[in-house]
Amino acid sequence: MIRKKLKHLTVIGALSSTLLFTACTPEDQAFATGLGVGVLATSMYSYPYYYDQPYYYYGGRYYYGGQYRNGYYYHNGRKYRSGHYYNRGNRYYNGRRYQAQVGRHGYYKNRTQYNNRSQYSRQINTRNQNVNRSVRDRSNYRDTSRTRNTAQNRSNYSRTHDRRR
């Protein structure tokens, strides 16, 4: 990430110095400056840098300044999918909209929540463990009920079968 930013800064520096030492119009200089600022504004971070702007969370990184269309996120000429896009308290994933929950899939409303992210991960893990326990208990119950039902079905079949003879 640092290497990519350094490359952008080098290109911006070379472009601005070239424009500064050549005889170009002030409009051209303003365009080049705006282009350089635009490259820096559409960057990625390993933590949520802005909390009031829409962003895309993919692979542990936060992307700002791209577009989200038809379930895909477009950023700097690349097309991303299977990430989470956040805008105005909603999370978009594979073209569907969900309500964003703090601490899940990289969503935090402010810097304080991000700094206390370990608290949210503990809450999520205990919730998942409780869900797994209930699913495991239900599956054990289903196994016993299946056995019971099959035994009852066999006895019912034999009774009805005997009556027909």
* DSSP output for 56-93: EEETTEEEES-EEETTEEEETTEEE-SSEEEETTEEEE
Higher pLDDT, 116 or 120: 116
d(CA 78, CA 21): 34
Main-chain dihedrals φ then ψ at residue 84, nearest 5 degrees: -120, 125
Residue-level pLDDT at 118: 84
Judge whether residue 98 has pLDDT over 80. yes
d(CA 37, CA 97): 31
Judge whether residue 95 has pLDDT over 60. yes
Residue-level pLDDT at 154: 59
Check if the beta carbon of residue 23 is closer than 8 Å to that of residue 39.
Answer: no
Q: Which of 91, 37, 43, 94 is nearest to 64 (CA)?
A: 43
Domains of the chain, residue spans: 1-41, 43-115, 117-165
What is the arithmetic mean of pLDDT over 110-116?
91
Residue-level pLDDT at 53: 92
What is the chain's mean pLDDT, rounded? Answer: 73
Judge whether residue 39 has pLDDT over 60. no
Check if the beta carbon of residue 83 is closer than 8 Å to that of residue 73.
Answer: yes
End-to-end CA distance of the chain: 81
Q: What is the DSSP pairing of strand 90-93 with strand 61-64?
A: unpaired
d(CA 53, CA 104): 18
What is the arithmetic mean of pLDDT over 80-90?
92
pLDDT tier for residue 37 given thresholds of 50, 70 and 90: very low
Residue-level pLDDT at 40: 45
